[in-house]
Amino acid sequence: MKLRHWSKRDLLLGLQDQQHASEALGKEVREPATTTCKEARRSSNKDVLPKTAFTPSALSKVAFEVVTGLLQHQPDVILIERQRFRSGGQAAVQEWTVRVNMLESMLWACLHTLQETRSTGTVNFPTIHAINPATVANFWVTGKHMDLELHAEHYQAGSGIMELQQPLKLPRKKIEKKDKVQIVRSWIAGSRDDVNLCFEGEAAQTAEFFHSKGRSSSPKLALSVTKLDDLADSLLQALAWARWEQNSRQIEKLLSDLND
Protein backbone atom coordinates (compact mmCIF):
# COMPACT_ATOMS: atom_id res chain seq x y z
CA MET A 1 0.00 0.00 0.00
CA LYS A 2 1.37 3.41 -1.02
CA LEU A 3 1.14 6.33 1.39
CA ARG A 4 1.73 9.79 -0.08
CA HIS A 5 0.11 12.24 2.34
CA TRP A 6 0.54 11.92 6.10
CA SER A 7 0.98 14.97 8.28
CA LYS A 8 -0.19 16.72 11.40
CA ARG A 9 -1.96 20.07 11.27
CA ASP A 10 -2.03 22.49 14.19
CA LEU A 11 -5.57 23.87 14.23
CA LEU A 12 -4.63 26.38 16.92
CA LEU A 13 -2.71 28.33 14.28
CA GLY A 14 -5.98 29.09 12.54
CA LEU A 15 -7.45 30.30 15.80
CA GLN A 16 -4.36 32.46 16.40
CA ASP A 17 -4.68 34.07 12.98
CA GLN A 18 -8.32 34.93 13.65
CA GLN A 19 -7.49 36.31 17.08
CA HIS A 20 -4.65 38.44 15.69
CA ALA A 21 -6.88 39.86 12.98
CA SER A 22 -9.57 40.76 15.50
CA GLU A 23 -7.09 42.36 17.90
CA ALA A 24 -5.35 44.24 15.10
CA LEU A 25 -8.63 45.70 13.89
CA GLY A 26 -9.51 47.02 17.33
CA LYS A 27 -6.00 48.30 18.00
CA GLU A 28 -5.81 50.08 14.66
CA VAL A 29 -8.77 52.23 15.65
CA ARG A 30 -7.30 53.12 19.04
CA GLU A 31 -3.64 53.69 18.18
CA PRO A 32 -1.22 53.45 15.26
CA ALA A 33 0.75 50.26 14.71
CA THR A 34 4.14 50.26 16.43
CA THR A 35 5.32 46.70 15.78
CA THR A 36 5.79 44.64 12.67
CA CYS A 37 3.61 41.66 11.85
CA LYS A 38 6.57 39.34 12.40
CA GLU A 39 7.22 40.77 15.86
CA ALA A 40 3.56 40.49 16.80
CA ARG A 41 3.46 36.84 15.79
CA ARG A 42 6.66 36.07 17.72
CA SER A 43 5.30 37.60 20.91
CA SER A 44 1.82 36.13 20.52
CA ASN A 45 3.15 32.60 20.23
CA LYS A 46 4.08 32.84 23.89
CA ASP A 47 0.56 33.84 24.88
CA VAL A 48 -2.26 31.48 25.71
CA LEU A 49 -5.26 31.85 23.43
CA PRO A 50 -8.20 33.52 25.18
CA LYS A 51 -11.55 31.79 25.50
CA THR A 52 -12.97 33.99 22.76
CA ALA A 53 -10.78 32.11 20.29
CA PHE A 54 -12.87 28.99 20.88
CA THR A 55 -16.31 30.48 20.29
CA PRO A 56 -18.61 28.78 17.75
CA SER A 57 -18.00 31.61 15.28
CA ALA A 58 -14.23 31.09 15.45
CA LEU A 59 -14.27 27.29 15.43
CA SER A 60 -16.73 27.21 12.53
CA LYS A 61 -14.16 28.95 10.31
CA VAL A 62 -11.50 26.43 11.33
CA ALA A 63 -13.84 23.51 10.64
CA PHE A 64 -14.68 24.85 7.18
CA GLU A 65 -10.99 25.34 6.32
CA VAL A 66 -10.18 21.79 7.45
CA VAL A 67 -13.00 20.29 5.39
CA THR A 68 -12.26 22.25 2.21
CA GLY A 69 -8.58 21.40 2.59
CA LEU A 70 -9.37 17.70 2.83
CA LEU A 71 -11.68 17.80 -0.18
CA GLN A 72 -8.89 19.24 -2.33
CA HIS A 73 -7.24 15.82 -2.16
CA GLN A 74 -10.42 14.28 -3.70
CA PRO A 75 -10.64 11.44 -1.15
CA ASP A 76 -13.01 8.50 -1.51
CA VAL A 77 -13.46 8.21 2.26
CA ILE A 78 -13.10 10.60 5.20
CA LEU A 79 -12.73 9.17 8.70
CA ILE A 80 -13.52 11.30 11.76
CA GLU A 81 -12.31 10.05 15.12
CA ARG A 82 -15.18 9.73 17.56
CA GLN A 83 -14.51 11.94 20.56
CA ARG A 84 -15.54 11.01 24.09
CA PHE A 85 -16.71 13.17 26.96
CA ARG A 86 -13.74 12.70 29.26
CA SER A 87 -14.00 14.06 32.76
CA GLY A 88 -10.42 13.30 33.78
CA GLY A 89 -11.65 11.98 37.09
CA GLN A 90 -13.33 15.27 37.91
CA ALA A 91 -16.96 15.94 38.69
CA ALA A 92 -17.59 17.81 35.44
CA VAL A 93 -16.52 17.45 31.83
CA GLN A 94 -13.46 19.59 31.14
CA GLU A 95 -13.88 22.66 28.98
CA TRP A 96 -11.24 21.52 26.49
CA THR A 97 -13.22 18.33 25.90
CA VAL A 98 -16.33 20.36 25.12
CA ARG A 99 -14.35 22.39 22.58
CA VAL A 100 -13.07 19.27 20.83
CA ASN A 101 -16.56 17.77 20.67
CA MET A 102 -17.92 21.04 19.29
CA LEU A 103 -15.31 21.01 16.53
CA GLU A 104 -16.15 17.38 15.75
CA SER A 105 -19.83 18.29 15.32
CA MET A 106 -18.91 21.21 13.06
CA LEU A 107 -16.79 18.97 10.82
CA TRP A 108 -19.77 16.66 10.34
CA ALA A 109 -22.09 19.62 9.71
CA CYS A 110 -19.75 21.15 7.12
CA LEU A 111 -19.33 17.87 5.27
CA HIS A 112 -23.05 17.10 5.26
CA THR A 113 -23.91 20.61 4.06
CA LEU A 114 -21.38 20.47 1.23
CA GLN A 115 -22.61 17.02 0.27
CA GLU A 116 -26.25 18.12 0.09
CA THR A 117 -25.53 21.35 -1.79
CA ARG A 118 -23.00 20.07 -4.33
CA SER A 119 -23.82 20.52 -7.99
CA THR A 120 -25.23 17.58 -9.92
CA GLY A 121 -22.77 15.91 -12.23
CA THR A 122 -19.77 16.78 -10.09
CA VAL A 123 -17.25 14.28 -8.75
CA ASN A 124 -18.73 11.83 -6.25
CA PHE A 125 -18.63 13.15 -2.71
CA PRO A 126 -16.56 11.02 -0.30
CA THR A 127 -18.30 8.80 2.19
CA ILE A 128 -17.82 9.84 5.81
CA HIS A 129 -17.43 7.43 8.73
CA ALA A 130 -16.98 7.85 12.46
CA ILE A 131 -14.24 5.64 13.85
CA ASN A 132 -13.68 4.53 17.43
CA PRO A 133 -10.01 4.84 18.45
CA ALA A 134 -10.34 2.19 21.19
CA THR A 135 -11.69 -0.36 18.69
CA VAL A 136 -8.83 0.42 16.32
CA ALA A 137 -6.20 0.03 19.03
CA ASN A 138 -7.61 -3.33 20.16
CA PHE A 139 -7.73 -4.50 16.55
CA TRP A 140 -4.04 -3.92 15.90
CA VAL A 141 -2.94 -5.24 19.29
CA THR A 142 -4.86 -8.42 18.47
CA GLY A 143 -2.77 -8.70 15.32
CA LYS A 144 0.21 -9.72 17.44
CA HIS A 145 -1.62 -12.94 18.32
CA MET A 146 -3.74 -13.82 15.28
CA ASP A 147 -4.13 -13.19 11.55
CA LEU A 148 -6.18 -10.05 10.89
CA GLU A 149 -6.73 -10.86 7.23
CA LEU A 150 -9.55 -13.22 6.27
CA HIS A 151 -8.67 -16.31 4.22
CA ALA A 152 -10.67 -19.07 2.58
CA GLU A 153 -9.21 -21.56 5.07
CA HIS A 154 -11.46 -20.01 7.71
CA TYR A 155 -14.43 -21.66 5.97
CA GLN A 156 -15.28 -25.34 6.05
CA ALA A 157 -15.25 -26.61 2.50
CA GLY A 158 -18.72 -27.51 1.23
CA SER A 159 -20.53 -26.80 4.49
CA GLY A 160 -21.36 -23.17 3.80
CA ILE A 161 -20.57 -22.14 7.36
CA MET A 162 -17.68 -20.29 8.84
CA GLU A 163 -15.17 -21.98 11.07
CA LEU A 164 -14.90 -19.61 13.99
CA GLN A 165 -11.62 -19.19 15.75
CA GLN A 166 -11.44 -19.45 19.50
CA PRO A 167 -12.06 -16.08 21.18
CA LEU A 168 -8.80 -14.37 21.95
CA LYS A 169 -8.38 -13.19 25.52
CA LEU A 170 -6.32 -10.03 25.54
CA PRO A 171 -4.54 -8.80 28.66
CA ARG A 172 -6.79 -6.54 30.71
CA LYS A 173 -4.61 -3.47 30.49
CA LYS A 174 -5.02 -0.07 28.96
CA ILE A 175 -3.42 0.36 25.56
CA GLU A 176 -0.97 3.20 26.01
CA LYS A 177 0.07 5.79 23.45
CA LYS A 178 3.54 4.26 23.33
CA ASP A 179 2.01 0.91 22.28
CA LYS A 180 0.33 2.49 19.26
CA VAL A 181 3.46 4.40 18.32
CA GLN A 182 5.45 1.16 18.53
CA ILE A 183 3.07 -0.55 16.08
CA VAL A 184 3.67 2.20 13.53
CA ARG A 185 7.42 2.03 14.13
CA SER A 186 7.35 -1.70 13.43
CA TRP A 187 5.54 -1.09 10.13
CA ILE A 188 8.05 1.53 9.08
CA ALA A 189 10.97 -0.71 10.06
CA GLY A 190 9.39 -3.69 8.30
CA SER A 191 9.51 -5.87 11.42
CA ARG A 192 5.76 -6.51 11.37
CA ASP A 193 4.29 -8.23 8.32
CA ASP A 194 0.53 -7.69 8.76
CA VAL A 195 0.76 -4.46 6.74
CA ASN A 196 3.10 -3.61 3.87
CA LEU A 197 3.57 0.12 3.41
CA CYS A 198 5.48 2.19 0.89
CA PHE A 199 6.02 5.81 1.93
CA GLU A 200 6.39 8.53 -0.69
CA GLY A 201 6.79 12.31 -0.64
CA GLU A 202 5.32 13.97 2.43
CA ALA A 203 4.53 10.61 4.04
CA ALA A 204 8.18 9.56 3.76
CA GLN A 205 9.23 12.68 5.66
CA THR A 206 6.66 12.00 8.37
CA ALA A 207 7.86 8.41 8.67
CA GLU A 208 11.30 9.78 9.53
CA PHE A 209 9.84 11.17 12.76
CA PHE A 210 9.36 7.63 14.06
CA HIS A 211 12.98 6.59 13.71
CA SER A 212 15.10 6.35 16.85
CA LYS A 213 12.16 7.00 19.17
CA GLY A 214 11.22 10.32 17.65
CA ARG A 215 14.74 11.54 16.85
CA SER A 216 14.86 11.85 13.10
CA SER A 217 18.08 11.34 11.16
CA SER A 218 17.68 14.98 10.15
CA PRO A 219 18.08 17.44 13.07
CA LYS A 220 15.81 19.89 11.27
CA LEU A 221 13.02 17.32 11.17
CA ALA A 222 13.63 16.18 14.72
CA LEU A 223 13.04 19.68 16.07
CA SER A 224 9.53 19.76 14.59
CA VAL A 225 8.43 16.54 16.27
CA THR A 226 6.11 17.23 19.22
CA LYS A 227 3.69 14.33 19.46
CA LEU A 228 3.92 11.05 17.59
CA ASP A 229 0.75 9.54 19.01
CA ASP A 230 -1.59 11.72 16.91
CA LEU A 231 0.26 10.75 13.75
CA ALA A 232 0.18 7.10 14.82
CA ASP A 233 -3.55 7.26 15.55
CA SER A 234 -4.37 8.65 12.12
CA LEU A 235 -2.42 5.90 10.34
CA LEU A 236 -3.77 3.13 12.56
CA GLN A 237 -7.34 4.27 11.98
CA ALA A 238 -6.97 4.61 8.22
CA LEU A 239 -5.36 1.19 7.82
CA ALA A 240 -7.84 -0.47 10.18
CA TRP A 241 -10.74 0.83 8.13
CA ALA A 242 -9.05 -0.34 4.91
CA ARG A 243 -8.51 -3.82 6.40
CA TRP A 244 -12.13 -4.01 7.62
CA GLU A 245 -13.38 -3.11 4.14
CA GLN A 246 -11.06 -5.68 2.60
CA ASN A 247 -12.26 -8.39 4.99
CA SER A 248 -15.88 -7.44 4.36
CA ARG A 249 -15.48 -7.84 0.60
CA GLN A 250 -13.63 -11.11 1.15
CA ILE A 251 -16.46 -12.47 3.31
CA GLU A 252 -18.98 -11.50 0.64
CA LYS A 253 -16.94 -13.25 -2.04
CA LEU A 254 -16.40 -16.40 0.02
CA LEU A 255 -20.07 -16.68 0.91
CA SER A 256 -21.00 -16.19 -2.73
CA ASP A 257 -18.59 -18.95 -3.80
CA LEU A 258 -19.96 -21.31 -1.15
CA ASN A 259 -23.53 -20.78 -2.32
CA ASP A 260 -22.72 -21.40 -6.00
Tell whether 1 is covered by a domain. no
Which helix or strand (DSSP H or E) is residue 78 part of?
Answer: strand 77-81
Q: Tell me the whole-structure pTM to 2 decimals.
A: 0.75
Q: DSSP labels for 83-138?
A: P----TTSSS--HHHHHHHHHHHHHHHHHHHHHHHSPTTSPPPPEEEEE-HHHHHH
| Residues 120 and 21 both lie in one domain | no
Q: Please say whether the dihedral angle defined by the alpha carbons of residues 180, 69, 206 and 20, taken in this order, is positive or negative.
A: negative
State the amino acid at position 85 in one-letter form: F
Both 141 and 214 in a single domain? yes
Which residues have CB under 8 Å from 254's CB, separation 6+?
Answer: 150, 152, 155
* Residue 131 phi, psi dihedral angles, 5° rounding: -130, 135
Q: For the chain, first and last CA: distance in Å?
A: 32
Looking at the structure, tell me whether residues 157 and 231 fall in a common domain: yes
Contact criterion met (CB below 8 Å) for 77 and 129:
yes
> Which of 110, 131, 152 is the endpoint of a domain?
131
User: 57, exposed or middle or buried, with CB in 10 Å at 0-12, 13-18, 19+?
Assistant: exposed
Same domain flag for 90 and 33: no
- DSSP symbol at 125: P
Give the start-end residues of each E strand in 149-235. Answer: 198-199
Regarding whether 163 and 176 lie in a shared domain, the answer is: yes
Counting the structural domains of the chain, the total is: 3
* 43 lies in some domain: yes
91 vs 77: CA distance, rounded Å: 37
User: Which of 89, 107, 131 is the last residue in one of the domains?
Assistant: 131
Q: pLDDT at position 241, please?
A: 95
Predicted confidence at residue 72, as pLDDT, reads 92
> Which backbone phi and psi does 198 adopt, to 5 degrees?
-125, 115
In a domain, 94, yes or no: yes
Judge if 123 and 137 occupy the same domain: no
Same domain, 223 and 193: yes
Same domain, 146 and 40: no
Q: Residue 43 belongs to what domain range? A: 9-50
Are 162 and 211 members of one domain? yes
37 within domain boundaries: yes
In a domain, 98, yes or no: yes
pLDDT at 35: 40
- Which of 64, 99, 131 lies at the terminal end of a domain, its last residue? 131
CB atoms < 10 A from the CB of 107, how many? 20
Calculate ∠ Cα 140-145-148, nearest 5°: 50
Q: Both 246 and 198 in a single domain?
A: yes
Going residue by residue through the chain, which has 260 residues, state the pLDDT in tens, using 9 for 90 and above: 889 999 888 887 766 666 554 443 334 333 434 444 444 444 444 456 777 788 999 999 999 999 999 999 999 999 999 988 766 677 777 888 889 999 999 999 999 999 999 876 667 899 999 999 989 988 888 776 666 666 666 555 555 555 555 555 666 667 788 888 899 999 998 888 788 899 999 999 999 888 755 454 555 444 344 478 899 999 999 999 999 998 888 888 877 777 76
**CB 68, CB 125: distance < 8 Å:** no
| 137 in the same domain as 250 | yes
2 within domain boundaries: no
* Per-residue confidence (pLDDT) for residue 41, from 0 to 100: 46
Element containing residue 80 per DSSP (H, E): strand 77-81
Answer for the pair 194, 216: CB distance below 8 angstroms, yes or no.
Answer: no
Of 59, 99, 110, 108, the C-alpha closest to 81 is: 108
- Asked if residue 25 belongs to a domain, the reply is yes
4 within a domain of the structure (yes/no):
no
Any idea what the Cα angle at residue 191 is, between residues 187 and 193, rounded to 5°? 70
Q: Are residues 198 and 124 in the same domain?
A: no
